[in-house]
Chains A and B, each alone.
Chain A
Amino acid sequence: MGEFKVHRIRFFDYMPSAIRAMAFSTRTERLALARADGALEIFNFSDNYFQEKVLPGHDGRAVEALCWVGPRLFSAGLNGEITEYDLENLRPRYTVDAYGGPIWTIGVNSQGTLLAVGCEDGTVKMFEVLKERIQFQRNLDRQRGRIISLSWHPSGTLIAAGMMDMIRIFDAETGRATHRLVVDRGAGASKSKEVVVWSIAFLSDYTIISSDSAGKVQIWDGLNGTLIRTHLITKWDVLALSVSQDESSLVAGTSEGTVVQFQFLSSTVDRLDKDWVRTRTFKNHSHDVRALAHTETAVVSGGMDTQLVVRPLLDKVEKNTRESAIRKVSFPHRSLVCCAKKAGVLLFQFPDHLELWRLGESDGYGKPGGSLPVKRGPEKLIQLKRKGEDHICCSALSPCGGWLAYSTVTSFRLYRLLNGSISICKVSKLPKDLRPAHQLCFSTDSSKLFASSSNSSVVVVALNEPECKYLGTLKAKYGCRQPVHLLSASENGKWLATANTDCEVHVYNLDKLKLHCTVPVYGSCPTAMAIHPTTSNLVVVHADQQIFEYSLVKKEYTEWSRRLQKQGLHSLWLERDTPITHVTFNPKNPAHIIVQDLFMFCIIDKSLPLPEAKNVLYNQMTLRSLPEPDRVLHSHGFKICKDFQHLLCVSLLEDHSLVVVERPLLDIVSQLPAPVRQKKFAT
């Protein structure tokens, strides 16, 4: 296969934001997740937990709670506003001020007709959910102290609200507070401190479950307002609760990073008197667990340590299968790094700024496994702060390193980089058709810019020095509404491929500015794709790890792709739990496809036999130890390199050296605030 010079880069200080809130929709199997910077992410649990959509954050938006109403997503935050999101255009649809101060919680009744929000001023405000908007209906009885958490009874007649030192039960029809449940403060020194009811759940049998800042999970009889049982599960706060759909299991997340499961069980099988029994404890987080979701088969948790953890319940899934493996999502499922192959310049995208780096240089040769002396270190050329309050949603750098573009949900900006990318000037005259984009891409010769906008359309702009000219809009067939999340232009400038979250892949002819063909829709979302520079084959990788190669000329799957599908991919390949985020090709050898996920990159050599089930997939170590002639016998088409971990980008420069951008998890962990102090033995 050969040697590669690798630029190993660890100076991309990407720092994911803490997870604040979560909502899981069993109907669509989608998890909505809100981060501390106001960004929203939508994960498709039925498609390998793929991060389908990302709605960029906003400076003022501090989302505290999320709520699905059917397919619609609402959030409420400490800015006092309720926001509904436009999931097709990846932006807020509208915002309604509740006029009750910061909002701590939001909840919808099971009929999906009324939204209740809990405000700082002690009111629970009801909003009617209308077709296009929400409308304030009324306030429930105003209480002293803020409403921290609330939960609707499934019948929709009662609301339980967690406050400071107590829980209130409201009659949703009259708005009267019917019960007052006093939550006792913790033992010891915290007696003087108010106890906060962080989370609450109202079950259909009128049981109320509450979790509070004194470390308790309490079970109440909601009809009589009496305490049934107290489980002290931590010395710190119990921040989140989530109950399974069938109300037989619930999970509670603590500040220690543990998630404790309770199950509604009877002590013996035949008896009917069931009780909430503490059964399991999961420790997958180092910091506060702020958000929890209990799906049918798994516990989903997230918090301060920024990782989303999907922990399957082993009694609900078949053992030793893909479903039974724990999943951790630490990085976005899309590329935040753009590499200008010709110029050797890297663009790093942060929520609030962009960084432009020039790669270092070295001379001389080294042995494999060694490192070369760095003659010239990497250089930060530009740090570009975004304008406005909206966070950057996408960015791109032209291959020549001469153009830079980024977009937020409200604005689009294009810059010209001069003198070897050192000086920058904004291109002020932009065609008016160039609206905020979901995804950006430059053509290989840096003469065109492609920007995907609403309804899966792509705007094509010709880049010229004084002025940029609008060339046209590529429109898919009528009815495509989902946003385009992948764009890829061919090297010869003839084709442009787009993929949207409806799993549709369209290929456009750029000469005619017309749709050329649509790749047969596959049931899993494309996670990366690219067009081969010489053969014009489109390689698409999907969230379920399948790889397809589609000939744009013949408009059919290639021979190799058919062979791959017939034989099937190696089981270990299919078991990987991070999606391929980048596909590129080796110009030296047209048979090579380079793909990359978080933990490895792989050079797929189409000329070699595919790995069979009995072959060792990760065979680089074995091959290394074998003498030269024997290697042929053992080698197969998937050359997987796991030397680099937590890969955010792997790219091949024009001089055939690889660029590898790593972001070690340890670096992220070291930047997190200190976790709650825990008593360790003998300290």
Chain B
Amino acid sequence: MAALYAGYTLRGLAPAQNRPNSGIQGVEAERDSDHVVVTDSTRCVTLYKVSDQKPLSCWTVKQGHTLTGAAVYNARTQEYVAVSDRKVIRIWKEDDIILDKAFKATVSSDVWRVHCVAGGDPVVLFHRGAVRLLDSLLSAPQQPIEEVLSPEEAISWSTNIVTESQQFVIFTTEQKGDHFLYLQRLNPNSLQRYHLEREEPGLSPLSFSVSYRDKHIRLLYLYPNGHVYESVVSVRAPVPEEGAQALPLPRSLLLSLPVGEGLLQAASAQELDEAHVAVVGVPHPSAGSGKDFLCIWNTNFQTLQAGKEMAGKIYGQLWSFWNKLFIPHGKTFSVIPYDCPKSSLASALGKQRQSLTNDQVLELIKVRIQFILGSLAKHFIIKMLNKSVFNLLMQTAPVEEVQREVQLLLSRTDTQDLQTSVGQLASTLASRSLNDPAFYTPSSLVQLVHTRYLCHSVCPDLVLLALERKDYFLCQLCLQFFPDIPEVVTCASLIAQEHEAGLNGFSLADEEDRSDNLAEGGATAQRDNEKASAAEQMCPVGLHKAVLLYPASARLLRSNICTMLSNVLFLQYLQFVYLKFSHDACKPTQGLRSPSLTQVMDWMGLLLDAHFTVLVMTPDVKDLLLNLHRFVKSQVRFVSELGKIEGSLQELDKMALKRDVGQYSIEIIELF
């Protein structure tokens, strides 16, 4: 299991309430695992000794100048390189105290960033996509810089990696909602352009992370809808001809993170090793919708391995060096050590992904491309459905129109997209209904619940709404289909319901006990029946409650909060249902929404097993138990008779079979 250890603060962040960014421009590794260079977004570069949590040196550019690129450390020359005012490259050593006295050179075009990793030379990436080695640039600072990107294209993220044989500069760009990945090789230089597959319209990747493994560069990127994709590019891919089109970049969905309400705003995913991804700014699946969490996910098993709440605002920035995660959050910049041991059981059991050979990857890519072409058509349809318009419609349109639109949406076949939209739609409708007493669309909500894409955490208002509107049908559906309703909510809904039932005079006298929620009722399937035979067989609990409590009962039975009274009530209910079943055994009952006979028997057995002594001691229940006993006895007698008949019939069956498989027979077969 991966683990996050107790973190510590490296430094504070400047208190700025409304600032969207953290004030940290970049963190870069320094000489060893204990040193980092932190560049803030204005004028300052600081060298920290991480374990001591203190700065070793600090360099500042003069007032009026700003640093526009994070400082990097060149381990070969032991120099720091930074960019100020977009065009000035500054180089200094650790013992230089005043930055302005150190070396600087002005270049002819805007610099995006300077990159340098251990084992590689510093490279300069220009705003317009050109790449130069720092040394060659400094030999002629005013050399002309070509424009690689088209005018509307802008770099959104960049990095630099070194493989065994080559150095790569990787950067992503955005152009009119399309995203591209550029792979720039150095020595010999070549540039390759890939087109990232489009996510839902309007969504652009929040963060990128790149890693190099087994001769492949793996790009990991996170979208605001919580999808984490991985794209694999071989470092030995053929060099494209000049002016070639952008290649489509196949991707695979690594994780689908829970996003809670709305889309992710500031989040980041960082690959830690081949099986683990650190994610910040995404809600913890079992801790509500707050997004201030740092989590480690295992991509092989799709499991959450570790999580930590980060106090304060998350800026969506995350760096990881040497088993330490660096996160600015709130007013602090924290360092959190982590550990991702590789599970060897996975590989022993053959669960670990086998590393693919180059040919296999190529094959895979081919297949993917075909798939992409096939699904392109579908995507266009989805694009047409402009989300904001739709949402607006949902918020303002009259009931009939909303119902029609929902129907339309649900009739779409593209289920993957449906999942997110259903959640949003349900919460929109629920909040609108809660705010506007005149507006309620029960049929649409039922339809949405029936898609099974919803759960309580996606749309917590729904249960509340159903209770408020006394829509027990919807409530029952929610209880039945939502796997994650907290017990508190279940209880609350049931208590509220009980209250209701009491007012209606439906229930038994012993309902003062507020905590016993275990009263049960006949499901809707029995509504008609019940009315017909109400005279002789009164359902012991309220009809509404019965509707509600069938799905809840299984859950509560497990959670062991049965009290004495509830047991009695439950038993009464079970007896009632049981009698019903024995009266019309052949009648098909409505699948999920009413308990089946075996379920009833199970519950009854469980209840009697667990509470038999208590039940026997209670005088009120005596009659009930005696009745039950009498009935069960008669049933047993009846069933044993049936057993005999079944036995003889079975014997017949056997005889027929036996004749068939004799020791010897002469048969005719025909071959065609």
**Which B residues have a C-beta under 8 Å from some C-beta of A?**
341-345, 347-350, 661-672
Given A2-B671, A4-B669, A643-B669, also A265-B348 (CB < 8 A): yes
> CB within 8 A of A639: which of B349, B663, B672?
B672
A624 within 8 A of B: yes
Cα A266 to Cα B662 in complex, Å, equals 57
Sample 22 A-B pairs with CB under 8 A, ordered by A number.
A4-B671, A5-B666, A6-B669, A7-B666, A8-B664, A10-B664, A11-B663, A265-B348, A267-B345, A279-B348, A280-B349, A315-B349, A360-B666, A366-B668, A368-B669, A370-B667, A372-B667, A374-B666, A377-B664, A623-B672, A624-B672, A641-B669
**Which A residues have a C-beta under 8 Å from some C-beta of B?**
1-11, 263, 265-271, 277, 279-280, 314-315, 360, 362, 365-372, 374, 377-378, 603, 620, 623-624, 631, 635, 639, 641, 643, 657, 664
> CB within 8 A of B665: which of A265, A271, A277, A374?
A374
B671 touches A641 (CB 8 A): yes
Cα A30 to Cα B627 in complex, Å, equals 71
> CB within 8 A of A268: which of B342, B350, B662?
B342
A5 touches B668 (CB 8 A): yes
Cα A600 to Cα B550 in complex, Å, equals 54
Q: Which residues of B contact A374 (CB under 8 A)?
A: 664-666
Q: Smallest Cβ distance from B359 to chain A, in angstroms?
A: 15
Q: Which residues of B contact A643 (CB under 8 A)?
A: 669
Cα A377 to Cα B663 in complex, Å, equals 10
Output the nearest chain B residue to A373 by Cβ-Cβ distance.
B666
Q: Which residues of A contact B344 (CB under 8 A)?
A: 265-269
Q: Which residues of A contact B347 (CB under 8 A)?
A: 269, 315
B348 touches A263 (CB 8 A): yes
Q: Smallest Cβ distance from B214 to chain A, in angstroms?
A: 16
A269 touches B664 (CB 8 A): no
> CB within 8 A of A265: which of B341, B345, B666?
B345
Scoring B342, B344, B672 by chain A CB atoms within 10 A of each residue's CB, the highest score goes to B672
> CB within 8 A of B666: which of A2, A6, A279?
A6
The 10 A-B pairs at the shortest CB distance, nearest first, are namely A269-B342, A268-B341, A368-B670, A623-B672, A315-B350, A1-B671, A11-B663, A371-B667, A372-B666, A362-B666
Output the nearest chain B residue to A377 by Cβ-Cβ distance.
B664
Q: Smallest Cβ distance from A594 to chain B, in angstroms?
A: 11
Per DSSP, are chain B's interface residues mostly helix, strand or loop, or mixed? Answer: mixed
A639 touches B670 (CB 8 A): no
Q: Smallest Cβ distance from B560 to chain A, in angstroms?
A: 23
Q: Smallest Cβ distance from B597 to chain A, in angstroms?
A: 18
Q: Which residues of A contact B668 (CB under 8 A)?
A: 3-6, 365-372
Given A1-B671, A641-B671, also A314-B350 (CB < 8 A): yes
Q: Which residues of A contact B667 (CB under 8 A)?
A: 5-6, 8, 366, 369-372
A1 touches B672 (CB 8 A): yes
> CB within 8 A of B343: which of A2, A268, A369, A377?
A268
Q: Which residues of A contact B348 (CB under 8 A)?
A: 263, 265, 279, 315
Q: Which residues of B contact A279 (CB under 8 A)?
A: 345, 348-349
5 further A-B contacts with Cβ under 8 Å, apart from A374-B664, A603-B671, A639-B672, are: A4-B669, A265-B345, A279-B345, A368-B670, A631-B672
Q: Which residues of B contact A371 (CB under 8 A)?
A: 665-668
Q: Smallest Cβ distance from A297 to chain B, in angstroms?
A: 13
Cα A370 to Cα B661 in complex, Å, equals 13
Given A265-B344, A267-B344, A269-B344, also A9-B664 (CB < 8 A): yes
Q: Which residues of A contact B672 (CB under 8 A)?
A: 1, 620, 623-624, 631, 635, 639
Q: Which residues of B contact A372 (CB under 8 A)?
A: 666-668
Q: Smallest Cβ distance from B348 to chain A, in angstroms?
A: 5
Cα A267 to Cα B341 in complex, Å, equals 9
Q: Which residues of B contact A271 (CB under 8 A)?
A: 341
Q: Smallest Cβ distance from B598 to chain A, in angstroms?
A: 14
Q: Smallest Cβ distance from A261 to chain B, in angstroms?
A: 10
Cα A603 to Cα B672 in complex, Å, equals 10
Cα A372 to Cα B342 in complex, Å, equals 67
B663 touches A10 (CB 8 A): yes
Cα A473 to Cα B377 in complex, Å, equals 78
Q: Which residues of A contact B661 (CB under 8 A)?
A: 10, 664
Q: Which residues of B contact A620 (CB under 8 A)?
A: 671-672
Q: Which residues of B contact A265 (CB under 8 A)?
A: 344-345, 348
B669 touches A369 (CB 8 A): yes
Q: Which residues of A contact B342 (CB under 8 A)?
A: 268-270
Q: Which residues of A contact B341 (CB under 8 A)?
A: 267-271
Scoring A8, A11, A366 by chain B CB atoms within 10 A of each residue's CB, the highest score goes to A8
Q: Smallest Cβ distance from B404 to chain A, in angstroms?
A: 47
Output the nearest chain B residue to A378 by Cβ-Cβ distance.
B664
Q: Smallest Cβ distance from A131 to chain B, in angstroms?
A: 43
Q: Which residues of A contact B662 (CB under 8 A)?
A: 10
Cα A129 to Cα B407 in complex, Å, equals 85
Output the nearest chain B residue to A601 by Cβ-Cβ distance.
B671
Q: Which residues of A contact B349 (CB under 8 A)?
A: 279-280, 315
Output the nearest chain B residue to A644 by Cβ-Cβ distance.
B669
Q: Smallest Cβ distance from B132 to chain A, in angstroms?
A: 39
Cα A3 to Cα B348 in complex, Å, equals 54
Q: Smallest Cβ distance from A273 to chain B, in angstroms?
A: 12
B670 touches A369 (CB 8 A): yes
Cα A279 to Cα B351 in complex, Å, equals 13
Output the nearest chain B residue to A271 by Cβ-Cβ distance.
B341
Q: Smallest Cβ distance from A462 to chain B, in angstroms?
A: 36
Q: Smallest Cβ distance from A648 to chain B, in angstroms?
A: 14
Cα A199 to Cα B668 in complex, Å, equals 53
Q: Which residues of B contact A263 (CB under 8 A)?
A: 348
Q: Smallest Cβ distance from A370 to chain B, in angstroms?
A: 6
Q: Smallest Cβ distance from B657 to chain A, in angstroms?
A: 12
Q: Which residues of A contact B663 (CB under 8 A)?
A: 9-11, 378
Q: Smallest Cβ distance from B599 to chain A, in angstroms?
A: 18
Scoring B341, B347, B662, B669 by chain A CB atoms within 10 A of each residue's CB, the highest score goes to B669
Q: Which residues of A contact B665 (CB under 8 A)?
A: 8, 371, 374
Cα A657 to Cα B668 in complex, Å, equals 9
Q: Smallest Cβ distance from B638 to chain A, in angstroms?
A: 22
Q: Smallest Cβ distance from B120 to chain A, in angstroms?
A: 26
Output the nearest chain A residue to B671 by Cβ-Cβ distance.
A1
Q: Smallest Cβ distance from A620 to chain B, in angstroms?
A: 6
Cα A268 to Cα B347 in complex, Å, equals 10
Q: Smallest Cβ distance from A59 to chain B, in angstroms?
A: 29
Cα A501 to Cα B587 in complex, Å, equals 68
B669 touches A7 (CB 8 A): no
Output the nearest chain B residue to A643 by Cβ-Cβ distance.
B669
Output the nearest chain A residue to B663 by Cβ-Cβ distance.
A11
Q: Which residues of A contact B664 (CB under 8 A)?
A: 7-11, 360, 374, 377-378
Cα A46 to Cα B349 in complex, Å, equals 25
B671 touches A639 (CB 8 A): yes
Given A10-B662, A270-B342, A374-B664, also A2-B670 (CB < 8 A): yes
Output the nearest chain B residue to A621 by Cβ-Cβ distance.
B672
Q: Smallest Cβ distance from A506 to chain B, in angstroms?
A: 34
Cα A11 to Cα B342 in complex, Å, equals 59
Q: Which residues of B contact A623 (CB under 8 A)?
A: 672
Cα A5 to Cα B223 in complex, Å, equals 70
Cα A631 to Cα B348 in complex, Å, equals 50
Output the nearest chain A residue to B275 by Cβ-Cβ distance.
A269
Output the nearest chain A residue to B661 by Cβ-Cβ distance.
A10
Output the nearest chain B residue to A319 by Cβ-Cβ distance.
B350
Q: Which residues of B contact A1 (CB under 8 A)?
A: 670-672
Output the nearest chain B residue to A365 by Cβ-Cβ distance.
B668
B666 touches A3 (CB 8 A): no
Cα A67 to Cα B345 in complex, Å, equals 33
Q: Which residues of A contact B670 (CB under 8 A)?
A: 1-4, 368-369, 624
Cα A265 to Cα B352 in complex, Å, equals 15
Cα A517 to Cα B21 in complex, Å, equals 89
Cα A24 to Cα B671 in complex, Å, equals 43
Q: Smallest Cβ distance from A586 to chain B, in angstroms?
A: 11
Cα A620 to Cα B348 in complex, Å, equals 43
Cα A4 to Cα B668 in complex, Å, equals 6
Q: Which residues of B contact A664 (CB under 8 A)?
A: 661
